[in-house]
Amino acid sequence: MLFFILKKVIKLFPVVLLFINGFLLSFLLIGCVDTSKQYSNVYLIKLEYNQTSPLFANVNAAYKSANSSTELATMSITIGYMGVCVKVSENLSCTTFKSLDTFSNVSGVSIIPTKAKVMTPQLDLVKLAKSFNKICHPRILMAAIIMDLVLLVILCYCSIPLMPGKPALHICASALAFCNSLLWGLGAMLQQESVFTTSKIVGDSAMGVISATIGTRASAISWVAFTFQLVVTIACVVDVFQDIGAKQNKIGQKC
């Protein structure tokens, strides 16, 4: 009896992992679309003015001369796959990339004098956030979530006793799980490379006035989800070999 229960639990383990995996990836996708901490704290990268920079005083002076609130000098912008959160003082506002123009009050500044009559902002965190969305797009993440859901349906069907067509579905599930592991492995690597490169380029190009911090939660979610996907792939392959073994045993008994 104990062996039977243990066997059923092992069979359901990939289903549970896939459910958690889909939840984690969905959570990563909707990070920074709401002001709740569980969403706003899941970001890929955070941009803010570096208060330890020698030029930070220029940022303060620029906002003051532009008749803007000097609190904007201490603002931070966190960027996710589909949304952006702006924190000014203790006020936090979040929106999607499509509605990013609603942050028009969070203007950029020019800290180096120019001869141009029209001063174009040299430092603009909102524009940087817009540019990052073009670098790190959620297409791969969305595809991985869809494949996860399809695989979850297949494994749930296979976990029901006496259902027909399980061997063929086990092969299909193995192929799908393998493809999804490759897909999200690529997605996680591209995400890490995009965030790491942006954090280096932004700091250097802004002469250290802007600091970029990598979101550790989003990074952890990405790699945990990839690990779960690998475990599910291995479990699906084991099911295929078990089906082959069972088929050979039946042939042997008939002979």
Instruction: Report if residue 127 sits inside a domain.
Output: yes
Q: State whether residue 213 is helix, strand or coil.
A: strand
* 253 found inside a domain: no
241 belongs to a structural domain: yes
Residue 147: predicted pLDDT: 95
Residue 165 has pLDDT above 70, yes or no: yes
Residue 191 lies in a domain: yes
pLDDT of residue 158: 87
Is residue 254 one of the residues assigned to a domain? no
Amino acid code (one letter) for 43? Y
Tokens of 14: 């990939």
Residue 236: inside a domain, yes or no?
yes
For residue 174, being part of any structural domain is answered with yes
Q: What is the pLDDT of residue 180?
A: 95
Residue 137 has a pLDDT of 86
Cα–chain-centroid distance for residue 5?
Answer: 36
pLDDT at 106: 75
Please give the average per-residue pLDDT across 22-51, as a whole number.
Answer: 90
Written as one string, the DSSP assignment of 146-190 is HHHHHHHHHHHHHTSTT-TTHHHHHHHHHHHHHHHHHHHHHHHHH
Percent of the chain with pLDDT over 90: 42
Q: pLDDT band for position 142 (50/70/90)?
A: very high
Whether 22 maps to a domain, the answer reads: yes
Is the model more confident about 246 or about 139? 139
Structural domain count, the chain? 1
pLDDT of residue 67 exceeding 90: no
Taking alpha carbons only, the member of 186, 172, 82, 189 closest to residue 144 is: 186
Residue 209 in 3-state DSSP?
Answer: coil
Q: Which domain holds residue 198?
A: 2-246
pLDDT of residue 57: 86
Residue 255 pLDDT level (bands cut at 50, 70, 90): low
